[in-house]
Amino acid sequence: MTKIAFYATIKPPDHHIASGDRLIAQNLMSALALAGYDVQLASRYIAYSKREADDILAQRKSGALEEADRLIADLQTDPPDLWLTYHPYCKAPDWIGPRVSAALDIPYVTIEAARTGQGFENGGDRWAKWRHEAQEGIRQVDLHLAFKPTDTAYLRDLLGEDAPIAMIAPFIATELPDALPPVDFPAHWRKGAPVLVTTGMMRPGKKVENYRLLADALSRLQALHWNAVIIGGGPEEETIRAMFSAIDPDRLLFAGIVPHEQVLATMKAADLFVWPGWKEPIGMVYLEAQMMGLPVVALDSMGVSLSVYHGKTGLLSAEEDADGFADNLSTLISHPSLRNDFATAAQSSIANNHSMAAAANTLKQALDPLVAG
Protein backbone atom coordinates (compact mmCIF):
# COMPACT_ATOMS: atom_id res chain seq x y z
CA MET A 1 0.00 0.00 0.00
CA THR A 2 1.33 3.44 -0.94
CA LYS A 3 2.39 5.35 2.16
CA ILE A 4 1.78 9.10 2.37
CA ALA A 5 3.29 11.38 5.01
CA PHE A 6 0.84 14.20 5.76
CA TYR A 7 1.65 17.57 7.33
CA ALA A 8 -0.43 20.72 7.96
CA THR A 9 1.65 23.84 8.51
CA ILE A 10 -0.98 25.91 10.34
CA LYS A 11 -1.92 23.34 12.96
CA PRO A 12 -2.28 19.56 13.07
CA PRO A 13 -5.60 17.93 12.25
CA ASP A 14 -6.00 16.84 15.87
CA HIS A 15 -5.41 20.32 17.33
CA HIS A 16 -7.77 21.30 20.13
CA ILE A 17 -8.91 24.55 18.46
CA ALA A 18 -11.66 24.07 15.88
CA SER A 19 -11.29 25.92 12.58
CA GLY A 20 -11.89 25.59 8.89
CA ASP A 21 -8.28 24.69 8.19
CA ARG A 22 -8.37 21.95 10.83
CA LEU A 23 -11.52 20.50 9.26
CA ILE A 24 -9.98 20.54 5.79
CA ALA A 25 -6.86 18.79 7.09
CA GLN A 26 -8.96 16.13 8.80
CA ASN A 27 -11.01 15.62 5.64
CA LEU A 28 -7.89 15.36 3.50
CA MET A 29 -6.50 12.56 5.63
CA SER A 30 -9.84 10.75 5.46
CA ALA A 31 -10.06 11.18 1.68
CA LEU A 32 -6.52 9.88 1.22
CA ALA A 33 -7.40 6.80 3.26
CA LEU A 34 -10.58 6.30 1.24
CA ALA A 35 -8.48 6.48 -1.93
CA GLY A 36 -6.53 3.47 -0.66
CA TYR A 37 -3.42 5.15 0.74
CA ASP A 38 -1.75 4.46 4.06
CA VAL A 39 -1.74 8.06 5.31
CA GLN A 40 0.12 9.00 8.46
CA LEU A 41 0.40 12.34 10.24
CA ALA A 42 4.13 13.00 9.89
CA SER A 43 4.46 16.00 12.18
CA ARG A 44 2.47 18.23 14.51
CA TYR A 45 4.92 21.10 14.21
CA ILE A 46 3.17 24.49 13.93
CA ALA A 47 4.84 26.88 11.50
CA TYR A 48 2.04 29.46 11.66
CA SER A 49 2.54 32.88 13.21
CA LYS A 50 0.11 35.75 13.75
CA ARG A 51 2.99 38.24 13.67
CA GLU A 52 5.74 38.73 11.14
CA ALA A 53 8.56 39.62 13.58
CA ASP A 54 12.05 38.50 12.54
CA ASP A 55 12.69 36.71 15.81
CA ILE A 56 9.52 34.64 15.39
CA LEU A 57 10.54 33.77 11.84
CA ALA A 58 13.96 32.62 13.02
CA GLN A 59 12.45 30.57 15.84
CA ARG A 60 9.84 28.91 13.64
CA LYS A 61 12.37 28.06 10.92
CA SER A 62 14.95 26.71 13.36
CA GLY A 63 12.37 24.49 15.04
CA ALA A 64 11.09 23.25 11.69
CA LEU A 65 14.55 22.31 10.47
CA GLU A 66 15.21 20.41 13.68
CA GLU A 67 11.91 18.59 13.21
CA ALA A 68 12.81 17.79 9.60
CA ASP A 69 16.16 16.31 10.60
CA ARG A 70 14.47 14.21 13.27
CA LEU A 71 11.99 12.89 10.72
CA ILE A 72 14.73 12.10 8.21
CA ALA A 73 16.52 10.00 10.81
CA ASP A 74 13.31 8.26 11.88
CA LEU A 75 12.05 7.53 8.37
CA GLN A 76 15.27 6.39 6.69
CA THR A 77 14.64 2.70 7.23
CA ASP A 78 10.98 2.75 6.21
CA PRO A 79 10.33 5.91 4.18
CA PRO A 80 6.92 7.01 2.91
CA ASP A 81 6.28 6.97 -0.82
CA LEU A 82 5.14 10.60 -0.96
CA TRP A 83 5.00 13.69 1.22
CA LEU A 84 1.89 15.94 1.17
CA THR A 85 1.76 19.32 2.90
CA TYR A 86 -1.51 21.16 3.42
CA HIS A 87 -1.70 24.95 3.11
CA PRO A 88 1.84 26.36 3.04
CA TYR A 89 1.74 30.13 2.68
CA CYS A 90 3.50 33.22 3.94
CA LYS A 91 2.22 32.95 7.52
CA ALA A 92 2.98 29.22 7.65
CA PRO A 93 5.86 28.24 5.34
CA ASP A 94 6.74 24.60 4.88
CA TRP A 95 10.35 24.11 5.89
CA ILE A 96 9.84 20.42 6.69
CA GLY A 97 8.35 18.84 3.57
CA PRO A 98 10.98 19.96 1.05
CA ARG A 99 13.87 18.95 3.31
CA VAL A 100 12.47 15.52 4.15
CA SER A 101 11.36 14.79 0.59
CA ALA A 102 14.77 15.66 -0.83
CA ALA A 103 16.59 13.57 1.75
CA LEU A 104 14.35 10.54 1.21
CA ASP A 105 14.08 11.06 -2.56
CA ILE A 106 10.27 11.00 -2.60
CA PRO A 107 7.73 13.24 -4.41
CA TYR A 108 6.73 16.42 -2.61
CA VAL A 109 3.13 17.59 -3.04
CA THR A 110 1.19 20.51 -1.62
CA ILE A 111 -2.50 21.25 -1.42
CA GLU A 112 -3.75 24.84 -1.16
CA ALA A 113 -0.36 26.50 -1.46
CA ALA A 114 -1.48 30.11 -1.39
CA ARG A 115 -0.66 33.71 -0.68
CA THR A 116 -2.38 36.09 1.68
CA GLY A 117 -3.59 39.53 0.72
CA GLN A 118 -2.67 40.81 4.15
CA GLY A 119 0.41 42.83 5.00
CA PHE A 120 0.57 45.07 1.96
CA GLU A 121 0.46 48.62 3.30
CA ASN A 122 1.85 51.85 1.87
CA GLY A 123 3.46 50.01 -1.01
CA GLY A 124 5.31 47.57 1.26
CA ASP A 125 4.92 43.97 2.34
CA ARG A 126 5.22 43.27 6.05
CA TRP A 127 5.36 39.52 5.37
CA ALA A 128 8.00 39.72 2.62
CA LYS A 129 10.57 37.60 4.48
CA TRP A 130 8.02 34.97 5.39
CA ARG A 131 6.64 35.03 1.85
CA HIS A 132 10.13 34.38 0.49
CA GLU A 133 10.52 31.38 2.81
CA ALA A 134 7.15 29.97 1.74
CA GLN A 135 7.95 30.40 -1.94
CA GLU A 136 11.30 28.66 -1.57
CA GLY A 137 9.45 25.55 -0.51
CA ILE A 138 6.70 25.96 -3.10
CA ARG A 139 9.30 26.02 -5.88
CA GLN A 140 10.49 22.51 -4.93
CA VAL A 141 7.10 20.84 -5.36
CA ASP A 142 6.38 17.99 -7.80
CA LEU A 143 2.63 18.70 -7.84
CA HIS A 144 0.34 21.38 -6.47
CA LEU A 145 -3.29 20.56 -5.75
CA ALA A 146 -5.41 23.73 -5.75
CA PHE A 147 -8.92 24.41 -4.49
CA LYS A 148 -9.26 27.90 -5.99
CA PRO A 149 -8.56 29.48 -9.38
CA THR A 150 -6.86 32.35 -7.54
CA ASP A 151 -4.34 29.90 -6.07
CA THR A 152 -3.72 28.47 -9.53
CA ALA A 153 -3.09 31.95 -10.88
CA TYR A 154 -0.68 32.69 -8.03
CA LEU A 155 1.27 29.48 -8.62
CA ARG A 156 1.52 30.06 -12.36
CA ASP A 157 2.68 33.62 -11.77
CA LEU A 158 5.34 32.32 -9.40
CA LEU A 159 6.35 29.13 -11.22
CA GLY A 160 5.38 29.72 -14.84
CA GLU A 161 2.55 28.55 -17.05
CA ASP A 162 3.86 24.98 -17.03
CA ALA A 163 3.63 24.67 -13.25
CA PRO A 164 2.41 21.18 -12.22
CA ILE A 165 -1.09 21.95 -10.91
CA ALA A 166 -4.25 19.87 -10.53
CA MET A 167 -7.59 21.21 -9.30
CA ILE A 168 -9.62 19.60 -6.53
CA ALA A 169 -13.10 20.73 -5.47
CA PRO A 170 -13.67 21.63 -1.81
CA PHE A 171 -15.24 18.64 -0.11
CA ILE A 172 -16.76 17.39 3.10
CA ALA A 173 -17.52 14.16 4.93
CA THR A 174 -21.17 13.46 4.19
CA GLU A 175 -21.68 10.71 6.76
CA LEU A 176 -23.73 12.00 9.67
CA PRO A 177 -23.67 10.79 13.29
CA ASP A 178 -26.09 7.98 14.03
CA ALA A 179 -28.26 10.37 16.02
CA LEU A 180 -28.23 14.15 16.14
CA PRO A 181 -29.13 15.91 19.40
CA PRO A 182 -32.57 17.49 19.78
CA VAL A 183 -33.09 21.15 18.89
CA ASP A 184 -35.49 23.32 20.84
CA PHE A 185 -36.21 26.76 19.43
CA PRO A 186 -37.80 29.33 21.77
CA ALA A 187 -41.46 28.55 22.42
CA HIS A 188 -42.55 32.11 21.67
CA TRP A 189 -41.19 32.01 18.09
CA ARG A 190 -43.96 32.30 15.54
CA LYS A 191 -44.84 28.95 14.00
CA GLY A 192 -44.17 28.84 10.29
CA ALA A 193 -41.74 31.73 10.29
CA PRO A 194 -38.49 30.62 8.61
CA VAL A 195 -35.56 30.02 10.93
CA LEU A 196 -32.25 31.46 9.79
CA VAL A 197 -29.02 30.00 11.12
CA THR A 198 -25.50 31.35 11.03
CA THR A 199 -22.27 30.24 12.65
CA GLY A 200 -18.86 31.82 13.00
CA MET A 201 -16.24 32.39 15.65
CA MET A 202 -16.49 35.81 17.29
CA ARG A 203 -12.93 36.95 16.92
CA PRO A 204 -11.31 40.14 15.59
CA GLY A 205 -10.86 40.89 11.92
CA LYS A 206 -12.93 39.30 9.16
CA LYS A 207 -15.34 37.61 11.54
CA VAL A 208 -16.42 40.91 13.10
CA GLU A 209 -16.96 42.44 9.66
CA ASN A 210 -19.08 39.48 8.59
CA TYR A 211 -21.24 39.79 11.66
CA ARG A 212 -21.61 43.52 11.01
CA LEU A 213 -22.83 42.83 7.48
CA LEU A 214 -25.28 40.23 8.78
CA ALA A 215 -26.63 42.48 11.53
CA ASP A 216 -27.10 45.31 9.04
CA ALA A 217 -29.05 43.08 6.65
CA LEU A 218 -31.29 41.64 9.35
CA SER A 219 -32.03 45.06 10.79
CA ARG A 220 -33.46 46.09 7.41
CA LEU A 221 -35.80 43.11 7.24
CA GLN A 222 -37.72 43.33 10.50
CA ALA A 223 -41.00 43.83 8.66
CA LEU A 224 -40.69 40.22 7.46
CA HIS A 225 -41.42 37.16 9.58
CA TRP A 226 -38.24 35.29 10.53
CA ASN A 227 -36.19 34.18 13.53
CA ALA A 228 -32.44 33.62 13.70
CA VAL A 229 -30.03 31.34 15.55
CA ILE A 230 -26.50 32.71 15.92
CA ILE A 231 -23.94 30.06 16.83
CA GLY A 232 -20.49 31.09 17.99
CA GLY A 233 -18.48 32.78 20.66
CA GLY A 234 -15.12 34.37 21.28
CA PRO A 235 -13.33 37.51 22.44
CA GLU A 236 -15.51 39.84 20.33
CA GLU A 237 -18.84 38.43 21.50
CA GLU A 238 -19.87 41.54 23.41
CA THR A 239 -19.04 43.76 20.44
CA ILE A 240 -20.93 41.50 18.05
CA ARG A 241 -23.99 41.22 20.25
CA ALA A 242 -24.13 45.02 20.32
CA MET A 243 -24.29 45.04 16.51
CA PHE A 244 -27.66 43.27 16.73
CA SER A 245 -29.10 45.66 19.35
CA ALA A 246 -31.44 47.33 16.81
CA ILE A 247 -33.19 43.99 16.21
CA ASP A 248 -36.00 42.69 18.41
CA PRO A 249 -34.13 40.37 20.81
CA ASP A 250 -37.08 37.98 20.91
CA ARG A 251 -36.28 37.03 17.32
CA LEU A 252 -32.66 36.15 18.05
CA LEU A 253 -31.13 33.17 19.79
CA PHE A 254 -27.44 33.53 20.64
CA ALA A 255 -26.54 29.88 21.13
CA GLY A 256 -22.87 30.36 22.01
CA ILE A 257 -20.25 27.74 21.19
CA VAL A 258 -21.85 24.32 20.83
CA PRO A 259 -20.59 20.85 19.83
CA HIS A 260 -20.35 20.15 16.12
CA GLU A 261 -23.23 17.68 16.26
CA GLN A 262 -25.42 20.44 17.70
CA VAL A 263 -24.45 22.74 14.84
CA LEU A 264 -25.52 20.11 12.32
CA ALA A 265 -28.75 19.44 14.19
CA THR A 266 -29.59 23.14 14.25
CA MET A 267 -28.91 23.40 10.54
CA LYS A 268 -31.19 20.44 9.88
CA ALA A 269 -33.99 22.05 11.90
CA ALA A 270 -33.60 25.47 10.25
CA ASP A 271 -34.77 26.79 6.88
CA LEU A 272 -31.96 29.00 5.58
CA PHE A 273 -28.24 29.46 6.13
CA VAL A 274 -26.90 33.00 6.00
CA TRP A 275 -23.29 34.08 6.41
CA PRO A 276 -21.80 36.90 4.32
CA GLY A 277 -18.47 35.14 3.75
CA TRP A 278 -16.60 38.39 3.20
CA LYS A 279 -13.01 37.46 2.28
CA GLU A 280 -13.79 33.78 2.91
CA PRO A 281 -11.07 31.61 1.33
CA ILE A 282 -13.22 28.49 0.95
CA GLY A 283 -16.02 28.42 3.50
CA MET A 284 -16.41 24.84 4.67
CA VAL A 285 -19.50 25.90 6.61
CA TYR A 286 -21.37 26.38 3.33
CA LEU A 287 -20.71 22.76 2.44
CA GLU A 288 -22.05 21.65 5.81
CA ALA A 289 -25.15 23.82 5.55
CA GLN A 290 -25.99 22.55 2.07
CA MET A 291 -25.34 18.97 3.15
CA MET A 292 -28.00 19.50 5.83
CA GLY A 293 -30.46 20.74 3.24
CA LEU A 294 -30.17 24.50 3.60
CA PRO A 295 -30.13 27.06 0.81
CA VAL A 296 -27.51 29.76 1.30
CA VAL A 297 -27.39 33.55 1.18
CA ALA A 298 -23.87 34.98 1.00
CA LEU A 299 -21.53 37.30 -0.84
CA ASP A 300 -19.69 36.25 -3.98
CA SER A 301 -16.38 36.77 -2.20
CA MET A 302 -13.15 34.87 -2.79
CA GLY A 303 -13.94 31.14 -2.45
CA VAL A 304 -17.67 31.20 -1.63
CA SER A 305 -18.78 30.45 -5.21
CA LEU A 306 -16.63 27.30 -5.20
CA SER A 307 -19.39 25.59 -3.20
CA VAL A 308 -22.47 27.83 -3.41
CA TYR A 309 -23.94 28.11 -6.91
CA HIS A 310 -25.87 31.32 -7.51
CA GLY A 311 -29.42 30.71 -8.65
CA LYS A 312 -29.12 26.97 -8.03
CA THR A 313 -28.20 26.30 -4.40
CA GLY A 314 -28.40 29.83 -3.03
CA LEU A 315 -28.16 33.52 -3.83
CA LEU A 316 -24.87 35.42 -3.98
CA SER A 317 -24.35 39.17 -4.29
CA ALA A 318 -21.21 41.06 -5.21
CA GLU A 319 -18.60 41.27 -2.45
CA GLU A 320 -19.24 44.94 -1.65
CA ASP A 321 -22.99 44.88 -2.35
CA ALA A 322 -24.56 45.01 1.10
CA ASP A 323 -27.88 46.07 -0.42
CA GLY A 324 -27.87 43.05 -2.73
CA PHE A 325 -27.06 40.77 0.19
CA ALA A 326 -30.06 42.09 2.13
CA ASP A 327 -32.30 41.84 -0.94
CA ASN A 328 -31.28 38.22 -1.53
CA LEU A 329 -31.97 37.40 2.10
CA SER A 330 -35.39 39.03 1.79
CA THR A 331 -36.12 36.97 -1.33
CA LEU A 332 -35.42 33.63 0.30
CA ILE A 333 -37.20 34.56 3.52
CA SER A 334 -40.27 35.43 1.49
CA HIS A 335 -40.33 32.52 -0.99
CA PRO A 336 -40.52 29.08 0.65
CA SER A 337 -40.86 27.26 -2.68
CA LEU A 338 -37.60 28.78 -3.89
CA ARG A 339 -35.93 27.77 -0.61
CA ASN A 340 -37.12 24.22 -1.13
CA ASP A 341 -35.85 24.10 -4.72
CA PHE A 342 -32.44 25.39 -3.66
CA ALA A 343 -32.31 23.01 -0.70
CA THR A 344 -32.90 19.97 -2.92
CA ALA A 345 -30.27 21.15 -5.40
CA ALA A 346 -27.83 21.89 -2.57
CA GLN A 347 -27.92 18.35 -1.20
CA SER A 348 -27.48 16.90 -4.69
CA SER A 349 -24.55 19.23 -5.34
CA ILE A 350 -22.75 18.13 -2.19
CA ALA A 351 -23.32 14.44 -2.93
CA ASN A 352 -22.19 14.68 -6.56
CA ASN A 353 -19.41 17.28 -6.47
CA HIS A 354 -18.17 17.84 -2.93
CA SER A 355 -18.26 14.46 -1.22
CA MET A 356 -15.38 12.54 0.30
CA ALA A 357 -15.72 9.93 -2.46
CA ALA A 358 -15.37 12.58 -5.17
CA ALA A 359 -12.27 13.98 -3.48
CA ALA A 360 -10.75 10.51 -3.04
CA ASN A 361 -11.13 9.87 -6.76
CA THR A 362 -9.47 13.19 -7.63
CA LEU A 363 -6.60 12.57 -5.22
CA LYS A 364 -5.98 9.08 -6.60
CA GLN A 365 -5.88 10.29 -10.18
CA ALA A 366 -3.44 13.07 -9.23
CA LEU A 367 -1.10 11.15 -6.91
CA ASP A 368 -0.88 7.66 -8.41
CA PRO A 369 1.29 8.78 -11.36
CA LEU A 370 3.83 10.25 -8.93
CA VAL A 371 4.37 6.96 -7.12
CA ALA A 372 3.91 4.54 -10.03
CA GLY A 373 6.66 1.99 -10.21
Q: Rounded to the nearest 5 degrees, what angle is found at the Cα of 302, between the Cα atoms of 109 and 118?
A: 80
For the chain, domains (ranges, CATH) are 3-171+355-371 (3.40.50.2000), 195-353 (3.40.50.2000)
Q: What pLDDT shows up at residue 64?
A: 98
> For residue 125, what pLDDT is reported?
86
Q: How far apart are CA 187 and CA 110, in angstroms?
A: 50
pLDDT higher than threshold 70 for residue 174: yes
Looking at 79-88, 110-119, 271-280, which range is the least confident one? 110-119
What would the mean pLDDT of 109-133 be, rounded to a whole number? 85
pLDDT at 306 exceeding the cut of 70: yes
The mean pLDDT value for 189-218 works out to 96
Residue 282 has a pLDDT of 84
Dihedral sign (CA 226, 309, 269, 277)? negative
What is the reported pLDDT for 119?
64
In this prediction, residue 124 carries a pLDDT of: 75
Q: What digits encode the pLDDT tens for the residues 199-209?
A: 999 999 999 99
CA distances to 204, 212, 319, 323, 345 from 219, rounded to whole Å, are 22, 11, 19, 12, 29
Q: Is the pLDDT of residue 47 over 80?
A: yes
Of 10-24, 69-83, 299-313, give the lowest mean pLDDT range: 10-24
Give the tens place of pLDDT for each residue, 6-41. Answer: 999 999 999 998 888 998 999 999 999 999 999 999
Could you give the CA distance from residue 28 to residue 30 in angstroms, rounded to a whole number? Answer: 5
Q: How confident is the model at residue 123 (pLDDT cuts 50, 70, 90)?
A: low
Which residues in 254-266 are b (16+ Cβ under 10 Å) and which e?
bbeebeeebbbbb
For 126-170, write each residue's pLDDT tens digit: 999 999 999 999 999 999 999 999 999 999 999 999 999 999 999
Residue 251 has pLDDT above 90, yes or no: yes
User: pTM of the prediction?
Assistant: 0.83
Is the pLDDT assigned to residue 307 strictly greater than 70? yes
Instruction: Please report, as a single letter, which amino acid is at residue 185.
Output: F
Query: Given pLDDT bands bounded at 50, 70 and 90, which one contains residue 293?
Result: very high
**Is residue 265 within 8 Å of 183, Cβ to Cβ?**
yes
